[in-house]
Amino acid sequence: MLGYDGPKEECGVFGVWAPDEDVAQLTFFGLFALQHRGQESAGIAVSDQQRIMVYKDMGLVSQVFNEATLKSLPGRLAIGHTRYSTTGASIWHNAQPTFRATRDGGLALAHNGNLTNTHELEAWLADLDPTERVPEKKTMDSTNDTSLVTALMASFGDEPIESVAMKVLPRLQGAFCLTFMTERTLFAARDPQGIRPLVVGRLANGWVVASETAALDIVGASFVREVEPGEFLAIDERGLRSARFAEARPKGCIFEYVYLARPDTTIAGHGVHAVRVRIGQHLAEEYPVDADLVIPVPESGTPSAIGYAQASGIPYGQGLVKNAYVGRTFIQPSQTIRQLGIRLKLNPLREVIEGKRLVVVDDSIVRGNTQRALVRMLREAGAREVHVRISSPPVQWPCFYGIDFATRAELIAPGLTVEEIRRSLGADSLGYISLDGLTAATQVPADQLCRACFDGQYPVAIPPAQAELLKLEERS
């Protein structure tokens, strides 16, 4: 998905315990591998077993850290974070890892996901520590739930963090993958539904936890296994210890396979690239068309376009060139450039597409602005026909578990037929993969997937205010 109206990634977390390694450098490279999951801020916390140092700032990993910074962060264990804000403003104060002083030392914590019961947790925190100032009317849109979890963990006096975690974790609801640390121990935890991915890997003399297996590959760690839903890990000089704080009720996010995860990542034993190729194959079977060329919207549409070409027999080609250096930026483009919109990121190869009947494969349609501009641009470049194929079903519902989709009122799919959306985009035809087809492509049982953005069936209760708003939007 490209452009300004697509789904925003959530966050990436990383943790390493390795007494013989430069853990700050390893974390830096791990965060590089997870950069796609969050581009607003980045941070690393490191411990030399005596004290925890935290360095974080706004920007990409390469903008926040340099060689001198990393050298100033010596230690034996570290955690790191790349952030896209799904709760809390995009400001330095909300960058992660968060830090709290406890009676027993320090605690740093990084979080991927979104909690749905923050009001309940705020009340609990006020009972545990009346000195905590929690605004009476704080809402999910204005709170950083990571800071809330960190404050809870630090509110149990001299009690060891391992026993504190076993009290706090069962009270958290929603999606959460946590890496956190004291001066001597690295911890990780995953929510009982396992909505977001989290894996553990082995170094020659150490351990790594990360949001995706690709991060393990980058730092030279061998994949051991996924952190189980409802599992809590502790890692120190005694090795890795595991405890269960909740019964596993797997509901992995199906959108990780569609767009969020890197194609070179493995989730639940399935390579994401292979899943996306199968999605394209299913899409070709469900929505065939007579055309001359299949082209992807790079980069996330590429594997599915390959699959569509394989199944349809239509040649695959590169019809769009992506500018790899255009991403989120602190330099705002001029109004003239802003009006060019999608051309900042994509430009058509006229000699490839001119006079051709095109199948254009993209990962999703959220508001439709990007695809509308894309269809117009391809026609201007000489395409004879433009047939849009989408490797996910219509996005009908917002996500409350860590993806920043538009609200239901802003989504293009609710209330419109596929034909009406096609006319809005200006395409010659439009086909979305069915939810059954997408599910089959993942090879994960439907009852082990969260598909709420497509079917509205939320596996974890959402906040009452948001639930009521959805009812109002659905009726309107």
Q: Which amino acid is at 417?
A: T
Cα–Cα distances (Å) from 114 to 111, 403, 455, in that order, read 8, 8, 19
Do the beta carbons of residue 267 and residue 252 sit within 8 Å?
yes
Q: Going by C-beta distance under 8 Å and a sequence separation of 6 or more, which residues neighbour residue 40? A: 58, 59, 83, 84, 85, 90, 95, 328
**Binding site feature residues for Mg(2+):** 300, 362-363
Q: How far apart are CA 455 and CA 253, in angstroms?
A: 13
The single residue of 11, 78, 342, 403 carrying the catalytic annotation is 11
Number of Cβ atoms within 10 Å of the Cβ of 85: 18
Q: How far apart are CA 310 and CA 453, in angstroms?
A: 28
Say which residue the tokens 């006229």 belong to.
350
Q: Going by C-beta distance under 8 Å and a sequence separation of 6 or more, which residues neighbour residue 102? A: 153, 154, 161
Q: Strand 98-102: give its sheet, edge to edge.
A: 98-102, 105-115, 174-181, 186-190, 231-236, 239-244
**Binding site feature residues:** 253, 300, 362-363, 399, 450, 453
Q: Which amino acid is at 363?
A: D
Phi, psi for residue 6 in degrees, rounded to 5: -90, 180
Q: How far apart are CA 25 and CA 66, in angstroms?
A: 10
**Binding site feature residues for [4Fe-4S] cluster:** 253, 399, 450, 453
Rg of the chain on CA atoms, in Å = 23
- β-pairing, 105-115 with 174-181? antiparallel
Residue 288: asked if its preceding bond is cis (omega within 30°), the reply is no
- Concerning whether 177 is annotated as a catalytic residue, the answer is no
Q: How far apart are CA 54 and CA 108, in angstroms?
A: 8
Tokens linked to 314: 């239509």
- β-pairing, 222-226 with 41-47? unpaired
DSSP string, 81-119: EEE--SSS-SSGGG-SSEEEEETTEEEEEEEEEEES-HH
Catalytic residues: 11
